[in-house]
Structure 1
Amino acid sequence: MENTGDDDRIRAGQTEQANFPPEDIYAEDGSIRSDFLMHVGAAIADRDLLFLRRHVLRLHESELGDLLEAIQPEQRHQLVSLLGDDFDLSALTEVDEAIRLDIVDHMPNEQIAAAIGEMDSDDAVYILEDLDEADQDEILSKLPFTERIRLRRSLDYPESTAGRRMQTEFVAVPPFWTIGQTIDYLREDADLPESFSQIFVIDPTFRLLGAIDLDRILRTPRSAKIETVMRETNHPIPADMDQEEAAQLFEQYDLLSAAVVDENGRLVGVLTIDDVVDVIQEEAEEDLMRLGGVGDEELSDTTIDTVRSRAPWLLVNLLTAFLAASVISMFEATIEEIVALAVLMPIVAGMGGNAASQTMTVTVRALATRDLDIHNAWRVVRREAGVGVLHGLAFGLAIGSVAAFWFHDLNIGGVIAAAMLINMCAAALAGIMIPMLLDRAGADPAVSSSVFVTAVTDIVGFLAFLGLATWWFAVRY
């Protein structure tokens, strides 16, 4: 790094920014304070390392991640370059993927390898998994053999599995040790993880036998054998288990940590509650985004990437819209004779679409959390059908009354009331049956449901309203 005239400030430390004391970098609305961003930007421009080391290096990794997302791309690169080896690479686990890749691409592999060597294995894997294989190999080659093997083993597990999420740092002891031996081991071994709350018990082949919590160790006499006080690990997590299923085990059994085992029952890592919280948040966000048909889109994505992400389902929606329009065209003559139908038919389709979205959202979430299964499916279907009938009667009566008063025609009111009842029932059934059928077929209901549910409510709504109107007025007149 070349020195400039501005670097004299680093020695003197007399800049106004260095006196800025940001006790809390967040504003009341949860965003980073604008004055802090202004001072950081000025410090980056002035190459004021004194300010950056005093006020940026002290930030928690999540706060540093928020800062990286808030500043401009060129400022990110300059900040990382100025901080050099002091930059906390674990902050990249808190930012969008596009920002993470952008920063890592501008960092030399030697710096990445040095930082990864100081990180927890789960965070290191999180950084490495998005890199090209060539960069992965080069970075791993610079690490000690044991650490390289642990990280490579985690990277070999499929994405979104417990094996990718686990920490490979854990404490394991044989069952024949005494409590005293275990305590001495914990005090004297310098290679143990920085923090842990559970010790695992293994046999000579590393097969998991049980676990013992630290509080139990502290309350047990030193002479007692580990095997006499350990508890069986009832809920070990297979390394190839989907991370969402693993999170559900944590929720069901109120776990703080859990052993991760391979296909032979050997202990390979530990999954902790902080990792599971991240999984729960990611899965919830993913389901929400997919319900809107936007996939894995992030705020940092480019315009082109965003267009590519959203276009496919918009195209499918366009095709279903043409299908609904073709239904309307079948009743063109009726609409020409009774203009009121053109005014009222969007109400029927719109109400059905909103009702179906409510049912669909509840259903998709229940399927994701495994609350909806074959044992209670038909009970829930009957409940939603009942809700559809009651909503159809209530809103059909209300809208029918308004339509009859508006157009001074009881026939119009009766037709739209009947169409509303039919479409609300169809909406309730579509909102629950389509996600269930897609889930049974192996498709992701969060991605596919909304387009098909909307198509059903539009088509049924138009067909019911215009079909009933055509039949009724043909019979009546």
Structure 2
Amino acid sequence: MAWTSNKRGSTFMECSVPLMVSVIDTDSAIARQVSPPNRTCGDAIPTRRGRSTTCSVRGKPCRSLGYHGRTVLLKELDLVSELEQPQAITLDEAAQIADEVKELIEAGEEHSAWELLQNLHPADIGTIIAGLPRASRDAIISVMSPDTVAWILHQMNPVEAGRVATRLGSNILSFALAQAHPRQVLNVLDRLPVRRAREVAASLEPLESAEMLEYAPDTAGDLMVGQTPTTHIDSLTGEAREVLRSLEDIRQKLTHLFLVGNDGELVGQVSVVELALAENETPLREIASPLVATVTTDTPALECARLQRHYNVTQLPVTKDERLVGVILAEHLLAATVELDTRQMQRVANVAGETVGGPLSSSIRTHLPWLMINLGTTFLAAGTVSLFESTLAQVVVLAAFLPVVAGQGGIGGTQTLTLIVRAIALGELVGIGARRLLMREALLGLLHGVVLGVLVAVIALLWKQNPGLGLVLGLAMLGNMVIAGTVGAGVPLFLRRVGIDPAVSSAVVVTTFTDVFGFLLFLGIASASINLIT
């Protein structure tokens, strides 16, 4: 019986059962599966982290190697000479692979489908599997190792991860969640039936980073990594290098080492590059640099992302009671920025938290309330039109142009609204007064209104040979575009002033204003100029 160890110290032993070993690059998921010639393996020996090797005996998975660190099988085992790195693929390539996977699964060839996927990056695997029909998704997950399932759940959004989790066995799900972030564990368990959630939760060991759960979602405390590299400001470069060597999980992602004073207060930082270039006896004070920005545990994630973008920092130190408690890595800041921007865009359209492949019940709960509110506002616009029934009875052709005025106003208002909401979210309105902004958008609406007003007047003249109708339509278009620009900027600014998220309800308010005032202007001017039209 022979022992072999990997880079992290995990071990396995040879015995008398044929083995299929999963060769894993844990920064990028399973690279491939190889069947070593004349090699057999049975039991797996846990690693120092309580995890073990990934293998399958006669096609059935045994145990799985944790994804922390980079697992490399020794060349003495003659399995592989080097690991294959997965390459990025385009969206078109992902769509093509997804179609091929579905065809293979429908033909009952789940293992062939998995072979098609296993050399991809886990992000691509997660995207493809999340988009598969439920039956196909369940079929391909059934042939994966628990370690791979953990990677897939990590790449999915909470809704999709919860849907996949409901189809997994309790043992596999427990293993997968044991490697996930505590916040993701809670998100997945929250989407399971109560009895199943309790069963899985009871099998999980206490989470090492469970203290992260005391911080609210979308805050610096939620984003940070608790394993924080620090050393005293009076230390030497050689001592600082030893601190970095002691960090097993995140040292390859760090760009700076943080420096503390005698009372544990954060006083500066030193670049990892400077540490590498300096002599061992160089005092850290000589190569230290001041901190550009720090945040506290309750700082909103959006503000953290703004600081990263504005000051071009690669990591943000997080403090609590003036003591360093964590660091936010650049990759987490990027992920938070994308997630928050997506939510912001969804809130503008009143579809926050929804996914394309999500359950119908969730979509109904998201859409229906806002559709009912919008229905009420349309009746307000209809009531405005009913005030001019006599005018419409005299000049029926006016009804044909009502959507022209209202539609253009709605589009113009939405354009301005989107621009202002984005500027508010990114902090781009610093130093720009509300009055100045309103004047700018009103002027922009006026210029748009002049161009569009002349255009629709000419169209009405050529189409209906009615100069009076063209004049009325042009004036209404001009006025409504000014209103659209002013309201599109004013509504989100007002909502922000009163403490309401401008992304949530601005769209409905702006559309209502442009519809009502568009109809009011068009039909009001038409009523006053009825003799010109008839």
TM-score in terms of structure 2 length: 0.76
Please tell me whether the aligned partners of residues 25 and 32 of structure 1 are also in contact (alpha carbons under 8 angstroms). Answer: no
Aligned to 1:33: 97
State whether structure 2 residue 158 is matched by structure 1 residue 97: yes
Cα distance, 1:80–1:176 mapped onto 2, change above 3 Å: farther
The equivalent position to 1:83 in structure 2, one of 144, 150, 157, is 144
Aligned to 2:80: none
Aligned to 1:418: 475
| Structure 2: 5+ residue stretches without partners | 1-55, 61-85
SS of equivalent to 1:167: coil
**Structure 2: how far apart are the matches of 1:274 and 1:85?**
25
State whether structure 2 residue 267 is matched by structure 1 residue 209: yes
Displacement, 1:139?
4.6
Aligned to 1:330: 387
SS of equivalent to 1:269: strand
**Structure 1: how far apart are the matches of 2:357 and 2:113?**
27
**Structure 2: how far apart are the matches of 1:47 and 1:469?**
68
Q: Once structures 1 and 2 are overlaid, which stretch shifts more, 328-337 or 56-65?
A: 56-65
Displacement, 1:311?
1.0
State whether structure 2 residue 400 is matched by structure 1 residue 343: yes
Cα distance, 1:345–1:210 mapped onto 2, change above 3 Å: same
Which deviations, in whole Å up to 9, do the C-alpha atoms of 1:307-355 show, x marking residues without a partner? 1111111111111110111111111011001112112222111111111
Paired residues for 1:40-189 under 5 Å: 41=105, 45=108, 48=111, 52=114, 56-107=117-168, 111-112=172-173, 114-115=175-176, 118=179, 123-132=181-190, 135=197, 139=201, 142-143=204-205, 148=208, 151-187=209-245, 189=246
**Structure 1: how far apart are the matches of 2:106 and 2:462?**
66
Which runs of structure 1 show a deviation greater than 6 angstroms over 4 or more consecutive aligned residues? 22-25, 474-477
Aligned to 1:245: 303
Which deviations, in whole Å up to 9, do the C-alpha atoms of 1:183-210 show, x marking residues without a partner? 23434x3745352222122346643222
Paired residues for 1:385-424 under 5 Å: 385-424=442-481
Aligned to 1:17: none
**Structure 2: how far apart are the matches of 1:475 and 1:209?**
77
Aligned to 2:486: 429
**Structure 2: how far apart are the matches of 1:190 and 1:456?**
58
Please tell me whether the aligned partners of residues 211 and 230 of structure 1 are also in contact (alpha carbons under 8 angstroms). Answer: yes
SS of equivalent to 1:83: coil
**Structure 1: how far apart are the matches of 2:113 and 2:240?**
45
Aligned to 2:250: 193
Displacement, 1:30?
4.5
Displacement, 1:83?
2.7
Paired residues for 1:278-427 under 5 Å: 278-373=335-430, 375-427=432-484
Which deviations, in whole Å up to 9, do the C-alpha atoms of 1:213-263 show, x marking residues without a partner? 11011122211222443223231121111111110100000011111122x
**Structure 2: how far apart are the matches of 1:90 and 1:407?**
64
Which deviations, in whole Å up to 9, do the C-alpha atoms of 1:91-147 show, x marking residues without a partner? 32322322201223344665555445556xxx4533434434985997598446xx5
Aligned to 1:16: none
Which deviations, in whole Å up to 9, do the C-alpha atoms of 1:268-316 show, x marking residues without a partner? 2111111122122212222222222212211121122111111111111
Which deviations, in whole Å up to 9, do the C-alpha atoms of 1:160-183 show, x marking residues without a partner? 112111222332222232111222
**Structure 2: how far apart are the matches of 1:468 and 1:445?**
33
The equivalent position to 1:448 in structure 2, one of 505, 523, 530, is 505
**Structure 2: how far apart are the matches of 1:117 and 1:207?**
34
Please tell me whether the aligned partners of residues 80 and 87 of structure 1 are also in contact (alpha carbons under 8 angstroms). Answer: no
Cα distance, 1:34–1:192 mapped onto 2, change above 3 Å: closer
Across the aligned residues of Structure 1 and Structure 2, the Cα RMSD in angstroms comes to: 3.2
Aligned to 2:73: none
- In proportion to residue count, which structure has more strand? 2
State whether structure 2 residue 521 is matched by structure 1 residue 460: no
Q: Which has the higher contact order (CA 8 A, sep 6+)?
A: 1
Percent of residue pairs identical = 27
SS of equivalent to 2:258: strand
SS of equivalent to 1:210: strand
Q: Once structures 1 and 2 are overlaid, which stretch shifts more, 372-381 or 346-355?
A: 372-381
Tell me the amino acid that sits aligned with residue 90 of structure 1. W
Please tell me whether the aligned partners of residues 359 and 431 of structure 1 are also in contact (alpha carbons under 8 angstroms). Answer: yes
SS of equivalent to 1:458: helix
Please tell me whether the aligned partners of residues 32 and 67 of structure 1 are also in contact (alpha carbons under 8 angstroms). Answer: no
Which deviations, in whole Å up to 9, do the C-alpha atoms of 1:438-460 show, x marking residues without a partner? 12122222221111111111111
Cα distance, 1:37–1:422 mapped onto 2, change above 3 Å: same
Q: Once structures 1 and 2 are overlaid, which stretch shifts more, 404-413 or 300-309?
A: 404-413
**Structure 1: how far apart are the matches of 2:302 and 2:422?**
13
Tell me the amino acid that sits aligned with residue 72 of structure 1. P
Tell me the amino acid that sits aligned with residue 124 of structure 2. E
Cα distance, 1:421–1:71 mapped onto 2, change above 3 Å: closer
SS of equivalent to 1:131: helix
Which deviations, in whole Å up to 9, do the C-alpha atoms of 1:44-96 show, x marking residues without a partner? x4564x984x6544432212212321333234344444334332513323223
**Structure 2: how far apart are the matches of 1:47 and 1:29?**
20
Please tell me whether the aligned partners of residues 319 and 325 of structure 2 are also in contact (alpha carbons under 8 angstroms). Answer: yes
Please tell me whether the aligned partners of residues 226 and 326 of structure 2 are also in contact (alpha carbons under 8 angstroms). Answer: yes
Count of paired positions: 449
Tell me the amino acid that sits aligned with residue 164 of structure 2. I
Please tell me whether the aligned partners of residues 69 and 95 of structure 1 are also in contact (alpha carbons under 8 angstroms). Answer: yes
Aligned to 2:82: none
Cα distance, 1:129–1:241 mapped onto 2, change above 3 Å: farther
Tell me the amino acid that sits aligned with residue 37 of structure 1. V
